């Protein structure tokens, strides 16, 4: 081709690039969308709880030590700052760069390698469990249907309980929720004189979007409204309080479970939910424990209602506060969740030693239209079309709008059980949380086993308030029987370390439990190998959920891991999408524990990467191992001593060189992250692609053509076609010139 034609080809390619560049910049100007928050998600906040082993630490010392250590482990985190001090030995720290949930858990475990730190736990944002997003839950709610006419309190035998007691003013119920409308007729004069406290912190300096009341923490727990996006205010805290202890026997409105108990309101949920730090502070304060910067609560509650949740493990921060409450004989009641899935997936309801409440149907079963189920459900109670206190205000309370409504969700089942526990306290104030759990389960009305329920699938049964109060009055409950443990023991198989076990699930309702014993401390890892989409849960000896995983995006196998001490642990396995196919699922399981770890290391994350590209990390040299260690990866490949990349389990030694390979996303400004475990040490490697305005078509003119290279965005194809038409025209012109010159 003549030189002039080459020049014309290059000019046309350049013109196409300019055209595409203008399109890309226009798209980046107005192509963004606001995130949609969902109640079945728990978003990491970018902050971590750190509990120090020494309570005599000066404020900020923890964050200083952790910041120095954290930067060494994770180069992206150049600054870790103190958000606030939570207690004498615990702080909330803010990471400079946000991490997704998996990366945050890995980072937390890395920080725990510091001998001065007791634990590090990620913080999540939680949401109220007002109403499920499953469309099935709306079935049968038209006036005249059985569920619409179903009366919750009558079905749980409340009248018989009221013949024994209608409650005592010495009983205090704490509602940790969205706050309260104190002038509602159902709640007027029912609260403690101080009413409660507002624990919602500023989102940022002078930013009170979540609080929605123009300020941060103060002594006013009044609910100003919690609209989120296009959603109306829920008045959730008011509704929950009215079910547990609304004004009763006054000739108006509705009846609460406890007619005389006093209510304590701890506002911790605002617009679009609330953070773990605020909610945990509210729980501790409700129990009479000290919270930094907040006056001490002089009227602590004996039972605390918490109707929040999200699909995460039970974090160490949550289990720590639950253990504190159990020592004080304070009972924490949790809603099981509204995702129509195993309650093992809903935190903090999946923690150990809480009362987890599912929603039941008029037919005597778990409400499969929405309620979570499984062995974590202590007891169920009615949860569909429950009458409660409400307000007509869409975004803020209407002064003349206090009224009544009907709502559906396990939140309202939990409120009923909270009221029941306060009645039990009225006849026996010395009951411990474990005794209360035993009485609730021993007195429960059994589920209709001819329907969807079996004992291990739904739980023990439905709240029987009459029997529960009678048993509390005369109780010799030991508090040592554990229904969850009994179910697991009945279904158990042993899974030995460093061996493979083959098993199968019988169908969508089936779940299998395995016992793992270890005499060593280290990283316990459990892996499945199956063609079916499975879900795995790693449980501690009290059946609190340490880790959970549905790894359907990576070969339909799960990998759950947690740092453990010597002892007994359990694995639960079920189908991840159990209702789609009622077929058998075969699988292999393996368990291993790594006890050694190398000198901490990190891989520098890569930014501005091309889309759909294979990206290599730097190569590092391993040191500090006392013996060869197991190496595993998730989401990518590793290269050991320059060999071919692999994703399989391997062995690594001191002096070995290690590199990682990760495929970048096909979308712009998208992060892909892989995880690596060497012995008991974990780290990760992330690749972030370029922005859309920089992912322009890469063209080559070799051979006289204009070619689209890998890494170009899809929109470039159309405009390149225009460029090729122009190129075709230029070639015809060149041919004419050539013919004339021959």
Q: What are phi and psi of 376, to 5 degrees?
A: -75, -15
CATH superfamily entry for domain 129-191+217-271+287-481: Peptidase S8/S53 domain (3.40.50.200)
SS3 per-residue string spanning 381-450: EECCCEEEEEECCCCCCCCCCEEEEEECCHHHHHHHHHHHHHHHHHHCCCCCHHHHHHHHHHHCEECCCC
pLDDT at 455: 60
Query: Do 129-191+217-271+287-481 and 491-594 come out as alike in CATH topology?
Result: no
Q: Is the pLDDT of residue 695 over 60?
A: no
Average pLDDT over every residue of 460-471: 93
Cα–Cα distance for residue pair 197/297, rounded to 1 Å: 9
Rounded to 10 deg, the angle between the 3-30 and 716-741 helix axes is 170
Is 707 tagged catalytic? no
pLDDT in tens, 68-78: 444 444 444 44
Among this protein's residues, is 236 annotated catalytic? yes
454 confidence band (pLDDT: 50, 70, 90): low
Give residue 155's pLDDT band: very low, low, confident or very high (50, 70, 90). confident
Mean pLDDT of 492-510: 88
Statement: residue 684 has pLDDT above 60: yes
Q: Residue 467: its pLDDT value, please? A: 95
d(CA 301, CA 123): 25
Determine the pLDDT at residue 329: 96
Note the pLDDT of residue 251. Answer: 81
Read off φ and ψ for residue 236, nearest 5 degrees: -65, -45
Tell me the domain boundaries of the chain. Answer: 43-126, 129-191+217-271+287-481, 491-594, 606-689, 699-742
The pair of three-digit structure tokens given for residue 1, joined into one six-digit string = 């081709």
**Residue 617 pLDDT greater than 60, yes or no:** yes
Percent of the residues in the chain that have a pLDDT greater than 70, as a whole number: 76
588/720 Cα distance (integer angstroms): 50
pLDDT at 267: 98
For residue range 376-417, list pLDDT tens digits in order: 999 999 998 888 999 999 999 999 999 999 999 999 999 999
Most confident of 26-40, 337-351, 553-567: 337-351
Q: Which of 67, 184, 198, 236 is catalytic?
A: 236
411 is catalytic: yes
pLDDT at 437: 94
Question: At which residue do the structure tokens 């037919």 appear?
Answer: 363
Q: What is the pTM of this model?
A: 0.73
**Does 268 have pLDDT greater than 60?**
yes
Q: Which tokens belong to 383?
A: 């949860």
Instruction: At 566, list the tokens.
Output: 């010597």
Residue 31 has pLDDT above 50, yes or no: no
Q: What six digits make up the tokens of 264?
A: 């304590």
CATH fold of 491-594:
Jelly Rolls (2.60.120)
Residue pair 371/361 in contact (Cβ under 8 Å)? The answer is no
Which pair of structure tokens corresponds to residue 355? 């009362």
Statement: 43-126 belongs to CATH 3.30.70: yes
**Closest residue by Cα to residue 533 from 551, 549, 548, 547:** 551
| Confidence category of residue 285, pLDDT binned at 50, 70, 90 | very high
pLDDT in tens, 538-554: 999 999 999 998 765 55
CA distance readout (Å), 372 to 249, 410, 662: 33, 8, 36
Q: Which of 350, 311, 323 has its CA nearest to residue 124?
A: 311
Let me know the angle formed at the C-alpha of 448 by 442 and 451, rounded to the nearest 5 degrees: 145
The active-site residue, picked from 410, 411, 594, 617, is 411
Fold topology of 606-689: Immunoglobulin-like (2.60.40)
Poorest-confidence range of 17-21, 268-272, 566-570, 728-732?
A: 17-21
- How does residue 87 score in pLDDT terms, banded at 50, 70 and 90? confident
Catalytic residue among 147, 155, 177, 551: 177
> pLDDT tens digits for 291-319?
999 999 999 999 999 988 888 999 999 99
pLDDT at residue 448, as a whole number = 75
Structure tokens at 576: 């991840």
Helix or strand holding residue 94 (H, E): strand 90-95
Over residues 149-172, the mean pLDDT reads 84
The reported pLDDT for the residue numbered 183 is: 94
Task: Indicate the range of 56-60, 432-436, 489-493 predicted with least confidence.
Answer: 56-60
Among 28-32, 286-290, 623-627, name the one with the lowest average pLDDT. Answer: 28-32
| Termini Cα distance of the chain | 14
Indicate if the pLDDT at residue 321 is higher than 60. Answer: yes
The two most distant CA atoms of the chain are separated, in Å, by 114
Mean pLDDT of the residues in the chain:
80
CB atoms within 10 A of CB 335: 32
């Amino acid at each position: 081709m003549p030189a002039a034609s080459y020049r014309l080809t290059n000019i046309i390619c350049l013109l196409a690039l300019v055209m595409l560049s203008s399109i890309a910049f226009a798209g980046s100007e107005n192509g963004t969308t606001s995130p949609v928050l969902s109640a079945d998600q728990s978003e990491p906040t970018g902050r971590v709880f750190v509990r120090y082993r020494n309570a005599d630490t000066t404020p900020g010392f923890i964050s200083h030590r952790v910041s120095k250590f954290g930067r060494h482990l994770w180069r992206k985190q150049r600054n870790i700052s103190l958000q606030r001090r939570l207690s004498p030995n615990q702080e909330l720290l803010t990471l400079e760069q946000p991490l997704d949930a998996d990366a945050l858990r890995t980072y937390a475990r890395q920080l725990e390698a510091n001998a001065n730190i007791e634990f590090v736990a990620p913080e999540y944002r939680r949401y109220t469990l007002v109403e499920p997003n499953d469309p099935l839950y709306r079935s049968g709610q038209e006036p005249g249907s059985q569920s619409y006419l179903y009366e919750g309190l009558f079905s749980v035998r409340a009248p018989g309980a009221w013949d024994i007691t209608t409650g005592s003013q010495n009983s205090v119920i704490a509602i940790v929720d969205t706050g309260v409308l104190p002038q509602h007729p159902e709640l007027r004069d029912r609260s403690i004189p101080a009413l409660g406290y507002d624990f919602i912190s500023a989102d940022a300096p002078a930013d009170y979007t979540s609080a929605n009341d123009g300020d941060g923490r103060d002594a006013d727990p009044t609910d100003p409204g919690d609209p989120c996006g296009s959603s109306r205010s829920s008045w959730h805290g008011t509704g929950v309080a009215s079910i547990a202890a609304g004004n009763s026997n006054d000739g108006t409105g509705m009846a609460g479970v406890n007619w005389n108990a006093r209510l304590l309101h701890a506002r911790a949920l605002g617009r679009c939910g609330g953070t773990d730090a605020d909610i945990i502070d509210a729980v501790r304060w409700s129990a009479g424990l000290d919270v930094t910067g907040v006056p001490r609560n002089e009227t602590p509650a004996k039972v605390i209602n918490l109707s929040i949740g999200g699909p995460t493990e039970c974090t160490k921060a949550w289990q720590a506060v639950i253990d504190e409450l159990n020592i004080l004989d304070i009972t924490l009641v949790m809603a099981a969740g509204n995702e129509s899935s195993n309650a093992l997936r809903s935190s903090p309801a999946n923690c150990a030693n809480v009362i987890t409440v599912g929603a039941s149907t008029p037919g005597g079963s778990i409400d499969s239209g929405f309620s979570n189920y499984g062995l974590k459900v202590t007891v169920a109670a009615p949860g569909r079309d429950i009458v409660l206190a409400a307000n007509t205000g869409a975004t803020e309370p209407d002064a003349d709008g206090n009224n009544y409504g009907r709502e559906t969700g396990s939140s309202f089942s939990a409120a009923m059980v909270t009221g029941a526990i306060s009645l039990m306290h009225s006849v026996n104030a010395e009951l411990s949380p474990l005794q209360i759990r035993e009485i609730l389960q021993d007195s429960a009305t059994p589920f209709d086993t001819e329907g969807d329920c079996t004992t291990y699938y739904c739980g023990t049964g439905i709240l029987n308030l009459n029997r529960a109060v009678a048993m509390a009055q005369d109780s010799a409950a030991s508090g040592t029987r554990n229904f969850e443990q009994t179910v697991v023991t009945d279904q158990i198989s042993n899974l030995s370390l460093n061996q493979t076990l083959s098993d199968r699930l019988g169908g969508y309702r089936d779940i299998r439990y395995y016992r793992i014993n270890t005499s060593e401390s280290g990283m316990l890892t459990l892996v499945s190998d199956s063609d079916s989409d499975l879900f795995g849960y790693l449980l501690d000896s009290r059946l609190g959920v340490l880790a959970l995983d549905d790894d359907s995006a990576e070969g339909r196998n799960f990998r759950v891991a947690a740092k453990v001490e010597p002892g007994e642990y359990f694995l639960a396995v079920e189908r991840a999408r159990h209702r789609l196919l009622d077929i058998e699922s075969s699988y292999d399981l393996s368990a291993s524990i790594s006890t050694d770890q190398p000198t901490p290391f990190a891989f520098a994350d890569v930014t501005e990467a091309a889309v759909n590209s294979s990206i290599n990390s730097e190569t590092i040299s391993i040191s500090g191992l006392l013996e060869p260690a197991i190496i595993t990866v998730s989401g990518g490949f590793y290269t050991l001593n320059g060999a071919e990349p692999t994703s399989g389990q391997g062995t690594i030694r001191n002096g070995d060189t290690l590199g990682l390979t990760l495929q970048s996303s096909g979308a712009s400004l998208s992060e892909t992250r892989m995880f690596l475990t060497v012995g008991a040490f974990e780290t990760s490697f992330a690749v972030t692609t370029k922005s859309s305005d920089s992912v322009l078509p890469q063209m080559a003119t070799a051979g006289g053509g204009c070619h689209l290279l890998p890494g170009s965005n899809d929109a470039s194809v159309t405009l390149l076609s225009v460029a090729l038409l122009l190129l075709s025209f230029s070639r015809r012109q060149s041919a004419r010139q050539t013919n004339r010159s021959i």
